[in-house]
Structure 1
Amino acid sequence: MKPTLFLLLAMLAPGSTVYAASLIAVDADQQSAFGITLTAPLPAAETLTRRYPAEVAVPNRQMRVVAAPQSGVLESLLVAEGERVEVGQVLAELRSPELVDAQSQYLESLTRLELIETELARDRTLFREGVIAERRLLESQSKQRELTTMVEQRLQLLELAGFGSEDIMTLARTRRLTSRLPVRAPIGGVVLEQMVSTGQSVATAAPLYRVAELNPLWLEIHVPVERIVGVQEGGRVLLPREDTAGTIVTIGRMVHGQDQGVLVRAEITEGTERLRPGQFVEVQLSAEAQGESWRVPLESVVRHAGNAYVFVNRDGGFEALPVRVLAEEEGSAVVAGGLSTADRLAVTGVVAVKAAWLGGAE
C-alpha cells in the first residue's frame, strides 16, 4: 500500500485525532506526504468577471463620412483604405458642371451688388442735394439689402460645395470659372473605407470615404443582466491577450432582447495600435468588492453541502473556515470570510484534507 494512501486511511480510521471538534489533525510529515502546500490570502479591492467578448469600435466623435459636395464625375482618388491622412488633405478630385453654375450665379449676384451699391451712393448724394425724393433712396437701399442677401446665399452654396475662403477670393478677383473640385479631409486620421471608384458618377452628398481617428477606441461589451451588479463607470476593463486595459465610460439602461445583455462601453487609450475597428477581443470587467474581501487560489476553495470553505493552517493541522465566494476569476476566487494576511491556506493536497475533514465528521 502506498504511504500517502496509508496515512490517509489512518487519519480516517476510528479513534484518529481528526475527530477533534475544530481541528483537522495533519502533522508536518503527513502534509509532506500528501503534497500539501500553503499560500497566504491577498486583500482584494476589486473582483474580475469571467471573460466576455467585446467589439472594438470608433467613438462617434472621431468618425467622419466624406461626401461629394456636388454631383459630378470622380476624376481621381488620391488615397485608399488604410492610409493615414491629415486635416485638409485632398482625398479626391471631382469634375462638376453644377460647380460652374454655382460660381456663375455667385459672380452674377456679386456684379449686381456692386452696381446697386454704386447707384445707392449716387442716390444718397442726390437726396442730400434735394434732387430726388426719399422714396427713390429707400428703393435703392431695399435693392441693396436684397442683393446682399443673395450674395451671402450663393457664397454659402460655394462653401458647401467645398470652396475655401481663398478659393472664393480668387474667383472674385479673377472671374475665372472651374469645374474641378477638390474633396478634402475634414479630420486627420485613417481611411477606414473607400466607397467609390475612379470615373464613377456621384450625386450630391454621396459618401466617398470613411475617415476616423483611432485613438482612443471604444470596447462594446454585452454583460448578462444578472452579472451587471458591481460594475460601475470608472471601473477597469482588462484585455488579457493584448496586455492592456481601459476604463468603463457608460453602462446602458436597456437589456438587449437577443442575448439579455446590458451594453457596457469602455474607452481604451493604450495599446490601440494593436486593435482594429470591428475586431472582437476577450475582456474582463473589474467590480468593486463588497466589504472585506480576499483573493485566494481557486484550488483552495472546497464545497460541501452547498457551502464553500478554505482550509486554514493551524498548529497541528487545519481548520475548515466557511467563506462566501464573491467572484470566480481565472485561477483565483474572491471570497469574504474571517481571514487575515497572517493565515496560510492549503492550495495543493486539498482533496486529502477534505477527506480527513469529512471522515472526522462522520
Structure 2
Amino acid sequence: MLRQLTITTACLAALLACGVARASDELAISQVQAERVGIETSPLEQQPAAMGLSFPGKITVPPDRTRLMNAQLGGRIERLLVRTDTAIKVGDVLAELQSPALAHAQAEYLVAYNKERLLRTNLDREQQLAPYGAVPKKQVIITQNEYDQARATVAERRQALSHVGMTEPQIEKLTTSQVLDPKLTLISPIDGVVLESTTMPGQTIEALAPVFRLAQLAPLWVEVQVPALRAEDFAVGARVTLNGHDCVGRVVSIGSSVEATSQTVIVRAEFDDPDPDLRPGQMVEARIAPSTSGKAEWRVRSGAMVRRGSDAFVFVQTSGGFVATPVKVREELPQFAVVSGSFRGDERIAVRGVAALKGAWQGLGGVE
C-alpha cells in the first residue's frame, strides 16, 4: 500500500529541510495544486531498441597482425620496390640498401670461415702424423681447441648475417665467391599490405630505423566507443554489425577503464571476414546486440529525472498525486536520458515543477 502525503500549495516548497520520504510514498497533490506550482506531465516515451545501440567506431588492425620492418643495419636507400597500399606476399623484396656495415659483417664472417678451414686442415694433418710421433699429442690438443673456437665463431658470424637479412643462398654464395656484397635487402615476412612507408630513395638511415609498416587486413578490429553507462549491457561474444557494410563480427573485449574526456569505454569487435572496402583508420557506425536484448527502455527529459545519492528517480503521476519511481540510467545525453524501470508503458511523468515535487518528497514538514 502506498502511504499518502497530503501537501498544501503554500507549504510545497518549504519541505526540503524536514525528513526524507520513501520511494514508495505517494505525494497526494490535486490537479489544482499541481497547476498552481507549475507541475506539468508528459507521457512516458519508449526508446526504440535499435536507437542507443549504434555507436561510433574506428577500424584498426589487431596488434598481432602488424609488422614493423626496420633496417637491421645503417645504410643508404637505393630502391623502394613497394609503396603505401601495395599488396605483398611472403618473400617479396621490399627495399634495397647499400650498407657498409653489411660489408664489414661479411668480411668478419669470411675471416672466421677461412681461419676455420685452415685450422681444419692443420688438425687433419696433425691427427694423421701424431700416431707416428711426428707431432706431439699436446700440439694436437691445442689445435683441436683452436679449431673448435673457430667453428663457433663461424656459426656466430653466419647467424649475424642471417639476422640482418641475408638468406642462406646468399650466405652460401658469399662463402663460395669470397666477394663482399654490401647490398642489404628487406624481405616481406607476411602476406598483406604496406600500410606506411617512411623513407625515400637516396636517404641515409641509421640501424634499426623503421622503413615500412605492414599489416594483414583480415581479421580486422573495430574499436567501438560505448558510453560508460552502457558498457555493462554488452558481453564478450555479442554480435556486431556495421551500418552500410555486409559483414558480421563479435565482441572480443570490453575496456576496463573509462576515457576521461568522452566518458566512453572501448568495446573491441573482431571481423574475421571484413568487407574489402574497410580500411584501418576508417570511422564507422557499429551496432552491438545487447545482452539485455528485449528489456524495455524509456526516454525521459533530463530535467524530469532527480537523484538521491547515486540513485535516479522520476515522478510518475497517479490518480491522487505522484510517486517517486526508481530508474536505472542506461545513457545520459544533454537533452534526455535513456532509462529502464518497472513501467507498464502508459504512465505519465512530471516534466516541469520537478523541483517542487522533489522538495515535498524529501521533507515531511507541513504534511496534512
- Amino acid corresponding to residue 259 of structure 1 in structure 2: S
For residue 301 of structure 1, what is the aligned residue in structure 2? none
What is the CA deviation profile of residues 7-26 of structure 1, one whole-angstrom value per residue up to 9, with x for unaligned ones?
xxxxxxxxxxxxxxxxxxxx
SS in 2 for 1:70: coil
Q: Is the Cα–Cα contact under 8 Å of residues 68 and 208 in structure 1 kept in the other structure?
A: yes
For residue 355 of structure 2, what is the aligned residue in structure 1? none
- Amino acid corresponding to residue 285 of structure 2 in structure 1: E
SS in 1 for 2:255: strand
For the pair 1:239 / 2:237, whether they are aligned, the reply is no
Where do residues 139-150 of structure 1 align in structure 2 (5 Å cutoff)? 139-150=142-153
Structure 1 unaligned segments of length 5 or more: list them: 1-45, 299-304, 309-323, 340-344, 355-362
Q: Is the Cα–Cα contact under 8 Å of residues 81 and 93 in structure 2 kept in the other structure?
A: yes
Where do residues 291-310 of structure 1 align in structure 2 (5 Å cutoff)? 293=294, 306=315
1:48, distance to aligned residue in structure 2 (A): 7.6
User: Which of 228, 231, 249 is the aligned partner of 1:228?
Assistant: 231
For the pair 1:251 / 2:254, whether they are aligned, the reply is yes
User: Which of 103, 109, 116 is the aligned partner of 2:106?
Assistant: 103
Instruction: From the superposition, tell whether residues 259 and 48 of structure 1 become closer, same or farther in structure 2 (CA, over 3 Å).
Output: same
Distance in 2 of aligned mates of 1:161 and 1:296? 60
For residue 187 of structure 1, what is the aligned residue in structure 2? 190
Distance in 2 of aligned mates of 1:138 and 1:260? 74
For the pair 1:265 / 2:268, whether they are aligned, the reply is yes
For residue 285 of structure 1, what is the aligned residue in structure 2? 288
For residue 67 of structure 1, what is the aligned residue in structure 2? 70
In the comparison of the two structures, how many residue pairs are matched? Answer: 280
User: Which of 196, 207, 211 is the aligned partner of 2:210?
Assistant: 207
Q: Is the Cα–Cα contact under 8 Å of residues 93 and 182 in structure 1 kept in the other structure?
A: yes
1:167, distance to aligned residue in structure 2 (A): 0.5
Distance in 1 of aligned mates of 2:329 and 2:238? 17
Distance in 1 of aligned mates of 2:259 and 2:127? 71
What is the CA deviation profile of residues 149-202 of structure 1, one whole-angstrom value per residue up to 9, with x for unaligned ones?
211111122112211001011111121221222221121111111101111111
For residue 216 of structure 1, what is the aligned residue in structure 2? 219
1:143, distance to aligned residue in structure 2 (A): 0.7
Where do residues 103-122 of structure 1 align in structure 2 (5 Å cutoff)? 103-122=106-125
Q: Is the Cα–Cα contact under 8 Å of residues 90 and 191 in structure 2 kept in the other structure?
A: yes
For residue 13 of structure 1, what is the aligned residue in structure 2? none
Root mean square deviation, CA, Å = 3.7
- Amino acid corresponding to residue 268 of structure 1 in structure 2: F
Distance in 1 of aligned mates of 2:265 and 2:339? 23
Q: Is the Cα–Cα contact under 8 Å of residues 297 and 341 in structure 2 kept in the other structure?
A: no
SS in 1 for 2:290: strand
1:241, distance to aligned residue in structure 2 (A): 2.6
For residue 54 of structure 2, what is the aligned residue in structure 1? 51
Distance in 1 of aligned mates of 2:128 and 2:51? 84
Q: Is the Cα–Cα contact under 8 Å of residues 47 and 287 in structure 1 kept in the other structure?
A: no
Share of identical aligned residues, percent?
32
For residue 91 of structure 1, what is the aligned residue in structure 2? 94
Answer 1 or 2: which has greater helix percent.
1
For residue 178 of structure 1, what is the aligned residue in structure 2? 181
Q: Is the Cα–Cα contact under 8 Å of residues 49 and 285 in structure 1 kept in the other structure?
A: no
Tell me whether 178-187 or 160-169 shows the greater mean CA deviation: 178-187
- Amino acid corresponding to residue 221 of structure 1 in structure 2: V
Distance in 2 of aligned mates of 1:326 and 1:188? 47
1:56, distance to aligned residue in structure 2 (A): 0.8
- Amino acid corresponding to residue 152 of structure 1 in structure 2: A
Distance in 1 of aligned mates of 2:93 and 2:316? 68
Instruction: From the superposition, tell whether residues 306 and 134 of structure 1 become closer, same or farther in structure 2 (CA, over 3 Å).
Output: farther
SS in 1 for 2:289: strand
Tell me whether 238-247 or 210-219 shows the greater mean CA deviation: 238-247
- Amino acid corresponding to residue 271 of structure 2 in structure 1: I
For residue 79 of structure 2, what is the aligned residue in structure 1? 76
Q: Is the Cα–Cα contact under 8 Å of residues 56 and 279 in structure 1 kept in the other structure?
A: yes
For residue 172 of structure 2, what is the aligned residue in structure 1? 169
For residue 303 of structure 2, what is the aligned residue in structure 1? none
Q: Is the Cα–Cα contact under 8 Å of residues 215 and 272 in structure 1 kept in the other structure?
A: no
Where do residues 133-144 of structure 1 align in structure 2 (5 Å cutoff)? 133-144=136-147
1:256, distance to aligned residue in structure 2 (A): 3.0
Instruction: From the superposition, tell whether residues 334 and 240 of structure 1 become closer, same or farther in structure 2 (CA, over 3 Å).
Output: farther
Instruction: From the superposition, tell whether residues 296 and 102 of structure 1 become closer, same or farther in structure 2 (CA, over 3 Å).
Output: closer
For residue 155 of structure 2, what is the aligned residue in structure 1? 152
Q: Is the Cα–Cα contact under 8 Å of residues 47 and 334 in structure 1 kept in the other structure?
A: no
Q: Is the Cα–Cα contact under 8 Å of residues 48 and 285 in structure 1 kept in the other structure?
A: no
1:249, distance to aligned residue in structure 2 (A): 0.9
- Amino acid corresponding to residue 187 of structure 1 in structure 2: I
1:282, distance to aligned residue in structure 2 (A): 1.4
What is the CA deviation profile of residues 83-131 of structure 1, one whole-angstrom value per residue up to 9, with x for unaligned ones?
1111111111111122222111111110000111111222223333444
Instruction: From the superposition, tell whether residues 172 and 181 of structure 1 become closer, same or farther in structure 2 (CA, over 3 Å).
Output: same
- Alignment TM-score, normalising by the size of structure 2: 0.66
1:306, distance to aligned residue in structure 2 (A): 4.8
- Alignment TM-score, normalising by the size of structure 1: 0.67
